[in-house]
Amino acid sequence: MCAPVQRHSGGGEGSGAARAPEPRYVVVGRILRPHGIRGELRVGIITDYPERLGQQTCFYLAPHDSP
C-alpha cells in the first residue's frame, strides 16, 4: 500500500496542539490515453530527470483541478 510523503516542519507554531501536516504531491506526468486491454495508461512524463521516477513504487492519480 502506498502512502504520501509527509514532511514535518521543525518549528512549532500555533497553539501547540499536534497536527499532522497535509501531504504534498508533485506532478510527474499527465495521462495521455488508455493503452492495452488490462487497464494500462500511456503517460507523458513531466520532469527533467525521468530516471528518478524508477525509484518510486507507487503513484497517485488526481483530477487536474485538485489541490
Mean pLDDT (whole number) for 42-52 = 86
**Top-confidence residue, 34 or 18:** 34
CA–CA dist 25, 4 (Å, integer): 7
pTM tops 0.95, yes or no: no
Mean pLDDT of the chain: 76
DSSP letters for 2-17: --------SS--TTS-
CB 58 within 8 A of CB 2: yes
Q: What is the pLDDT of residue 33?
A: 94
Largest CA distance in the chain: 53
Adjacent-strand bridge partners of 63: none
pLDDT bracket for residue 7 (50, 70, 90): low
Q: What is the pLDDT of residue 67?
A: 63
